[in-house]
């Protein structure tokens, strides 16, 4: 059931952000980039290989949503949202808040109960 629901949640998410013309993995990355972050850190957050981030970053950059900025350690590249990227991130947040499966099907107290169960599962 968990797997089914996650698949459905993903599907709902994909359908709702479709108007933005953004593949799901890119949207997930953008959501993570509330603050500029090294590519390696993003790989950890998304639990994927660093090499995969390179591709995501390329696509986001092409779309003008992020920039690679170099800081003190010149090996490290921070991914920072551009204004367009920020705007996209806000749009995603708005869409999710209003259409997510969990919001649609569950009441407030149920959501809290679910959240605490899920936290326990992740611990």
Rounded Cα–Cα distance for residues 111 and 55 (Å)? 35
Closer of 31 and 106 to DNA (Cβ): 31
Number of amino acids touching a copy of itself (CB under 8 A): 26
Residue 76: CB atoms within 10 Å: 14
| Residue 72 DSSP class | S
Which part of the chain contacts a copy of itself (CB under 8 A), choosing from 8-16, 50-58, 61-69, 86-94? 8-16
End-to-end CA distance of the chain: 20
109 binds, among a copy of itself, DNA, none (CB under 5 to 8 A by kind): none
**Binder of DNA out of 1, 4, 21, 74 (CB under 7 A):** 74
Residue 33: CB atoms within 10 Å: 20
Q: Interface with a copy of itself by CB under 8 A: which residues?
A: 1-10, 47, 101-102, 105-106, 110, 113-115, 117-123
């Amino acid at each position: 059931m968990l797997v089914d629901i996650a698949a459905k949640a993903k599907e709902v998410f994909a359908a709702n952000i479709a108007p933005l013309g953004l593949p799901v993995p890119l949207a997930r990355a953008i959501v993570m980039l509330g603050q500029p972050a090294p590519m390696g850190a993003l790989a950890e957050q998304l639990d994927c290989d660093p090499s995969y981030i390179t591709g995501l970053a390329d696509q986001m950059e092409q779309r003008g949503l992020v920039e690679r900025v170099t800081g003190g350690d010149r090996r490290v590249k921070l991914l920072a949202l551009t204004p367009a990227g920020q705007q996209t991130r806000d749009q995603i947040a708005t869409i999710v808040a209003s259409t997510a499966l969990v919001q649609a099907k569950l009441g407030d107290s149920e959501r809290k109960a679910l959240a605490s169960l899920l936290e326990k599962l992740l611990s």
